[in-house]
Chain A
Amino acid sequence: MWVLLGLVVVLFVLYGSLFYADQKSQMRAEEERYLATVAQKKIEEIVAWREEHRIRGESALADSFFSAAVAHWLATRDPGEKKRIVERLASYHRHYRYSGAFLVDTEGRLLIGEGGEEKETSFGPETKVYFEQALRERRVVVTDIYLCSYHHVPHLDIVVPLSVLDVTGEKTIAVLILRQSPSEEIYPLLQFWPAPSKSAEVLLVRPEGGRLLVLNELRHRTGTAFSLRLPAHSAEGFTPVAISGTEGRVIEAVDYRGIPVIAAVRRIPDSLSFLIVKVDTAEAFATWRIRGAAIAGGTFLLLLFTLTSIGLWWYRSQKHLYQALYRTEKKQREIEERYRLLVEHAGDAIFVLQGERLVFLNRKTVELMKDYSEEELTTLPFLTFVHPDDCQRVSTNYQRLLMGEKSEDRYAFRVVRKSGEVRWVEVSAVIIEWEGKPASLVFLTDITERKSLEAAREELTAELQQKNEEMENLLYAVSHDLRTPLVNIHGFSTRIQKHLGEIEEVLMVKSSADEVRSALVPLLKEKIPRAIGFVIASAEKMDGLLKSLLKLSRLGRRPHEPEVIDMNRLVDETIKTLEFQVREIGAEVRVDFLPPCFGDRNEIGQVFSNLLDNALKYRDPARPLAIHIGGSAEKEAVTYHVSDTGMGIKKEYQEQIWGLFSRLDPAGPVRGEGIGLTIVRQMVRRNRGRVWLESEPGKGSTFYVSLPRP
C-alpha cells in the first residue's frame, strides 16, 4: 500500500518536475527564440540601416555632379560653387537628419561644414582612421559608432571619398563626411522593443582592452555610451571571451546592474561590435513564475487529489475488506456454532483422541464418563477409562487405525466410570488431522441398555426355545408313549376276538367233551386272560401317563412367585412328607445348614421332593442308603446338593434320564412314570437355576441344584 503511494508520489513528482522543467525549458526556449528573433531583427535593422546610409554614401560617391562641383570649387574657390556645395551639405543636414555634413580635404582639414555643433566639427584621431581607410580603399566607409576623444561625443560617420577621373585615373579630391549622432536614430532603433517590456534592453558593445565598452545609451542607465565598461568578471558572463563563445545562443548571466538576465548576443556584421539583447530573467520568466507556480500547484493539487482518492479508495477497500472479513468471520462463527450445537447435542459421545489423551470432547462424553471432571478426562491417558479386559483390544484397534491398517469398526467394549460402574459402548472411529497431527475422531454409543435388553432377549429366546423343546419332547413322548399301550390294547383285543373265534370253532367242530375241554382250557385259562391282562395293564399305563401329563401341565400353569426361601425349613418339611419311606427303608438322612435362595417356594419344594424320592427309590439293595443334603453360597448363586449311596447311573444314561417318560429299566423293580427328573429340570429352569448330576454305578449319585441368591 505504502509502496503504491510512494510510487504515486514519486511518479507525480517526477512527472511534475519533468513537466515543469519541460514547460520551463519550453518557455525559456520561447524567450530565447523571442530574444534571438529580436536580436536577429535588430541586427537586420542595423544592417539595413547601415546599408541605407551606405547607399546614401554610395549615391554621394556616385554623384559625379557633386564631385565635379567640389573639384571645381577646390580649383577655383568659386563662391557660387561653395554656395551650391553648402546647400547640398545643408540638405544632407536637414533632410537626412545628419547632425553634420562636412567636406574635408585629403589632409583632413575641414573645408566646408554644415550643421553640427562645435564639438562635432572636430575630427579626432578616431575619425582619421576611418578617413584614411576610406581614402585608401576608395570606397564609402560606414563607421562604427565611435567616441571622439576631443569632445567625448559618440559619432557615426559615413565617409565618402570623392574622386574625379583625370588623366592619372581615379583621384580622390575631397572626403565627404556625413555625421550622425547615434542618439538620433541608432540608439532609439536599438532600444526599440517590439512589445512592451519592462526590462528589455539592448546593448551595443565593443570589446576593448579585455572589457566590453558599451557604445549606446541604455535604458536602465543613462550616460552609458562610451563610458560604461562591463567588468571582466567571468561571473557576469559578459566578458569578451564569454561573448565570443556564446555567439548565436541565448545565455543567462548577470548584467551590469547585478540583475540576472537572459541575453542574446550577436555580432554585428562588418563590425567589431556585438549586439546584446537582454531581458531580465525575472521579466522573461515572469509569466513563467505564474505558469510554473500553476503547474506546480496544479501538479500538487492533482497529487493531493490522487493521494486522497487512493486514500479514500484504500480506505473504502479496507472497510469493505474488513466488512467482508467480519461477515466471513460471522458466517464462520455461525457455522462453527452450528457444528458446535450438533456436536454438543449429539446423542453419542464424540471426542478426539490424540496420542494418549483426549484433546477434545463433547458434553455427552462427560456424561458417559460420569464423575470424571473434564480436566481429568483430558489429562489422564484414555486407557484409564477402558475396562481392563478390553484395554488390549481397544489399544490394538487404535494403533491399527492410526497406522492406516484395517481395524475393527463398530465393536463393543466396556468403559468404567469413576464410581466403578461399567457401561457397554459401541465405538466407531476415523482417522483425522487435528491441529496438524494425526488423531482419531471417536463416536461412542452407550449400548448398556441395549446389551441388557439383548441379554434379556437372549434369555427369553433361550427360554422360548427351551419351552419349545420341552413341548416338542412332550409331543414326541406323548405320541410314542401313549401309542404304545394303545397298540397293545388294540392288538390284544383283536387277539381276544381271534381266540373267541377259535372257541366258536372248537364248539362247532369238536364233538368230544374232552376234545372240547382240551381245546378250550388253554384258551380260557391262559390265552384269553393273558390278553385281557395286557389290555388292562396297557389301559392302566395310559392312565398313568396321562395323569403324569396332567401333573406336568398343572405345574406349568401354576403362577411363579419368587421370594427369599429359608431352605432349612423347606427341606425339613419335604423330608417330613417322606418320613414313612425313610423309616421303612432305614435310610439315613443328613442335612447341613443350608443358605437361603431366591425362588418359588412350591417349585423348589417339588424339586427337592422329587430328588429325595428318587434317592429313596433307586437305592442299592447291597448297601444301606445314606442321603446327604448340603449347600453353599457362591458369588452369583447358591448351590445345593443331594447325595445318595444308591445304585448310581451309568455315564451314558445320565443324559436321557431327564427326558419325559424316560425310564432306564421300565420292567425293573422300581415303579415310576419317568417324569420325576423332568419336573425337577423344569422347575429349576423356571427359577433361573441349573441342575446337573454326578454319579457312579455302585457308588451313588449326587444331584446339584444352583439357584439365585436372594
Chain B
Amino acid sequence: MNEKEKKDANGTLARNGKKHEVTILIAEDDDGHVELITSALRDAGVLNEVIRFRDGVETLAFFYGNKEETFVRKGHPYLLLLDIRMPKMGGIQVLERLKEDPRFKKMPVVMLTTTEEPREIERCHALGCNVYITKPIVFTDFVEKLRRLGLFITIVTVPSL
C-alpha cells in the first residue's frame, strides 16, 4: 500500500491510486489513533480515499466550508468515522449538525470513543448514528473491528450524497 498524503492548513486530504468509490472521513484529534486506524484499514484491504479532520470544526468546515461552497462532492458516497471527544467541537455536536441537515443525514456515521457510557450511546443512537465502536486498549480487537468495518464498506452500497 502506498499513500500520498498532502497536508494543508485546513486538514488532511488523501488520495489513493486505486479507485474505490467511498471516501472515508476520519474525525479524530489524536494522530496516533489516526495512524492506527488508517493502517488497520489498509491492512484490511480498504484502500479508499481517507480524509482526516482534527476536530469538529474542521469536520464541519468540510461539509459547510465557507458557507458558499462545500467540499463535499455531489453524488459521492462518504463514510464518516467520528471520534466523540475532540477539542473545540465534539463528535456528538457534529453528528447532531449533520443529521439535521437533509443533505447529509443519509451519510453513514461510525462513532468512535474510548468509553462505553450508555448515555452517550443512547444519545448517538437517538441522533441517528448507525454504528458505535469503542476503541479498545487491546488493539487487536480494534483492528478486527476496523477490518470488519472495511468489509462492510466494500460490501455495502453506501448512499451517494
Residues of A within 8 A of B (CB): 476, 479-480, 483-488, 490-492, 494-495, 534, 537-538, 652-653, 656, 662-667
Contact = CB atoms under 8 A, between A and B. Distances in A.
B32 A488 contact: yes
Nearest to B36: A491
B65 interface: no
Interface of B: 29-33, 35-36, 39, 54, 85, 87-89, 113-115, 135-140, 142-143
Given A487-B33, A534-B32, A494 B140 contact: yes
A490 B138 CA distance: 7
A480 B114 contact: yes
8 A-B pairs with least C-beta separation: A488-B32, A491-B139, A483-B114, A491-B36, A494-B139, A534-B32, A490-B139, A664-B87
B29 A666 contact: yes
A492 B32 contact: yes
Nearest to B88: A664
Which residue, B29, B31, B36, has most C-beta atoms of chain A within 10 A?
B36
A537 B136 CA distance: 19
A480 B139 CA distance: 16
Contacts of A652: 88-89
A487 B88 CA distance: 22
Tell me what chain B mostly uses at the interface: helix, strand, loop, or mixed: loop
A534 B35 contact: yes
A491 B43 CA distance: 14
13 contacts: A480-B115, A483-B135, A486-B137, A487-B136, A487-B137, A488-B30, A488-B36, A490-B139, A491-B139, A492-B36, A495-B39, A534-B31, A652-B88
B115 A484 contact: no
Contacts of B35: 492, 534
Which residue, B87, B89, B137, B143, has most C-beta atoms of chain A within 10 A?
B87
Contacts of B139: 487, 490-491, 494
Given A479-B115, A480-B114, A483-B137, A491 B88 contact: no
A488 B33 contact: yes
Contact of B29 (A479, A653, A656, A667): A667
Contact of B36 (A487, A663, A665): A487
Contact of A487 (B54, B85, B87, B142): B142
A484 B87 contact: no
Contacts of A665: 87-88
B32 to A, nearest CB: 4
Nearest to A479: B115
A479 B120 CA distance: 14
B33 A653 contact: no
A479 B115 CA distance: 8
Contacts of B87: 656, 662-666
Nearest to B90: A656
A664 B113 CA distance: 18
